[in-house]
Amino acid sequence: MKMKRKLLSLFTVLAALVGIFSLTQTVKADQITNYTNTATLTKENGTSLSENSTVGYWEPLAVSNRITFPDEQAIKEGDTLTLKLPEQLRFSTTIPFDVMHASGDPAGQAVINSETGEVTVTFTDIFERLPLDKEMSLNFNVQVNHDTVPTNTPIDITYEGVVYPLVVEENTVVPVSPVITKTGYQDDLDSSIIHWRVLINSQQSTVDNLTVADTLGEGQELLPETMLGVQVQYVEGDAVDSLEEAASRPYSYNFSADITYTTDDLGKTNGFRHTIGGSSNNAVFLSYDTRLTSAQSVGTDMTNSIAVSGENVAYSTETGYARIEAAYGSASSRIVPAQFEATTTTTQTTTENATTTEAPTTTAGTTTEQSVTTEEGTTTESSVTTSESAPTSSSSTSDSTSATSVSTSSPSLAVTSSQSQVKKNKKSTLPSTGEDSHNLLPILGVMLIAVLVWFFPARKLRK
């Protein structure tokens, strides 16, 4: 008997576990494709592109997308929307950014992928809560894809069904300075990282006790682990003509580990200093990264200044600039309006008057009854009985009955004898876990029947 009880308990636990694990089912996220995109491709300053438009080799172009969704297109939490650039365009870096709703809540998280040329938005539940007149805008910058677009040749770029004719200019290489050349650019995959490169003494002049001091602009911190500071191998009669050549030449001396760093009041590294002692005619190459410490608007230039001095050279400074690419998005929609219903019923009013006079008696009775019933279930009764009098007229009887019923219905009328009820549409939302509920009772019932079928025949056999 004890064994059967244990088995019964075991089956009960198993039934409960099976029910719990089958209670939920993951809701699959959808790729939203039912929308209309009104898009434009212009120069960064808003100038339209026409047949006579020329675009610089590295010139940024602005893309604006205004996306609208029909009301019947449901967008739930976790759903995505993807826009893809044509092969003639590219993103300069990967950028994550928020798409904010007019209500102040996030509508989605967007990611620009520089490797795939796509921007993908993953939605929150905002369009479930506010499903009408759904609209979203996405704005970002792009560049011409130099791998697919020739220079000095008319081309047509088609984006979202619109053709944009233009001509891309040749790449112009700016000669390096004989003293200092400095430049910066965002990382292709991480928009918060800026790569800085510096070339000093490109003409390989003789310099005694060269001192280098670098100071970052606001909004960034230096990453010491990325520092590379070297003297480039001297080649007689062959000056270093570019930063690329400086990076590729063999090094004669690596002083990266000897650099002294400076910090700000918060302890973040904001610069460095180093002196190369003795006399040298080597060019110097520096490469290091900084990280943005705050969000920057599109088109912002981050700065980085460096100064050099020596016993036989004049003090000189150079400020480098790194253009920051950013993106932003917004969204709007509205809620389904509430439905208002009001019902007013004014019910019967009955008045009965009875007067009886008998001659030659000296009595008379007068009774008045009033009954009023409203929809709220309130009844008011009143009765008045007069005192006796001695009429001399003959007997008479009079009955009078009056009934009135009025029923009105108005969405906005307020009446004191009615009760107004407002029926609001109940919000239907996905569970916060992203799962859909199912009925547990059938599963438990089947398991219980199986246990009873097994248990009671065994008990009868024992008897």
The number of C-alpha atoms within 13 Å of 461 and in the hemisphere containing its C-beta is 6
In a domain, 192, yes or no: yes
In a domain, 288, yes or no: yes
Residue 302 neighbours by CB under 8 Å, 6+ apart: 184, 194, 217, 219, 220, 290, 292, 296, 321, 322, 324
Highest mean pLDDT among 52-61, 367-376, 416-425: 52-61
In a domain, 23, yes or no: no
- In DSSP notation, 283-321 reads -EEEEEEEEESS---TTPEEEEEEEEEETTEEEEEEEEE
Per-residue pLDDT for 127 more than 70? Answer: yes
Lowest mean pLDDT segment, chosen from 127-141, 423-437, 442-456: 423-437
As a dihedral over the C-alpha atoms of residue 388, residue 389, residue 392, residue 394, rounded to 10 degrees, the angle is: -30
Helix (H) / strand (E) element for 248: namely helix 243-248
CA 458 – CA 452 distance, rounded (Å): 10
Among 127, 151, 171, the domain-final residue is 171
Range of the domain at 122: 36-171
pLDDT at residue 416 in the model: 34
Lowest mean pLDDT segment, chosen from 66-80, 153-167, 194-208, 411-425: 411-425
**69 close to 135: Cβ distance less than 8 angstroms:** yes
In a domain, 247, yes or no: yes
Based on the fold, state whether residues 191 and 165 are members of the same structural domain. Answer: no
Residue (of 275, 341, 330, 267) closest to 102 by Cα position = 330
Based on the fold, state whether residues 212 and 264 are members of the same structural domain. Answer: yes
Each residue of 102-111: pLDDT tens digit? 999 999 999 9
- In DSSP notation, 148-161 reads T--SSSEEEEEETT
Based on the fold, state whether residues 292 and 351 are members of the same structural domain. Answer: no
Higher pLDDT, 448 or 412: 448
Based on the fold, state whether residues 216 and 306 are members of the same structural domain. Answer: yes
In a domain, 87, yes or no: yes
Q: 106-113 and 118-123: which strand pairing?
A: antiparallel
Based on the fold, state whether residues 255 and 313 are members of the same structural domain. Answer: yes
3-state SS class at 246: helix
Each residue of 146-179: pLDDT tens digit? 999 999 999 999 999 999 999 999 998 888 999 9
How many domains, in total, are found in the chain? Answer: 3
* Token pair recorded at residue 401: 């009955």
Which CATH number fits the domain that encloses residue 145? 2.60.40.1280
3-state SS class at 410: coil
Per-residue pLDDT for 33 more than 50? Answer: yes
Specify burial of residue 219 (Cβ count, 10 A radius: 0-12, 13-18, 19+): middle
Q: What angle do CA 53, 59, 65 make, to 5 degrees?
A: 80
First to last CA, the chain: 13
As a dihedral over the C-alpha atoms of residue 34, residue 40, residue 44, residue 50, rounded to 10 degrees, the angle is: 150
What's the one-letter identity of residue 125? D
Per-residue pLDDT for 37 more than 90? Answer: yes
What's the one-letter identity of residue 230? V
Q: Round the average pLDDT of the chain to a whole number and report it.
A: 79
Among 124, 147, 171, the domain-final residue is 171
Based on the fold, state whether residues 165 and 139 are members of the same structural domain. Answer: yes
Q: Is the peptide bond before 431 cis (omega within 30 degrees of 0)?
A: no
Which CATH number fits the domain that encloses residue 266? 2.60.40.740
Based on the fold, state whether residues 166 and 184 are members of the same structural domain. Answer: no
Based on the fold, state whether residues 148 and 273 are members of the same structural domain. Answer: no
- In DSSP notation, 116-153 reads TTEEEEEE-SHHHHS-EEEEEEEEEEEEE-TTT--SSS
pLDDT at residue 58 in the model: 93
In a domain, 18, yes or no: no
Based on the fold, state whether residues 103 and 227 are members of the same structural domain. Answer: no
Residue 397 confidence class, pLDDT cut points 50, 70, 90: very low
Based on the fold, state whether residues 185 and 317 are members of the same structural domain. Answer: yes
Q: What is the mean pLDDT of residues 402-418?
A: 35
Residue (of 158, 295, 302) closest to 217 by Cα position = 302
Q: What is the mean pLDDT of residues 83-109?
A: 97
Based on the fold, state whether residues 146 and 185 are members of the same structural domain. Answer: no
Distances (CA, A) of 275 to 208, 233, 240, 256, 281: 10, 18, 21, 12, 14
In a domain, 212, yes or no: yes
Based on the fold, state whether residues 194 and 315 are members of the same structural domain. Answer: yes
Per-residue pLDDT for 376 more than 80? Answer: no
In a domain, 262, yes or no: yes
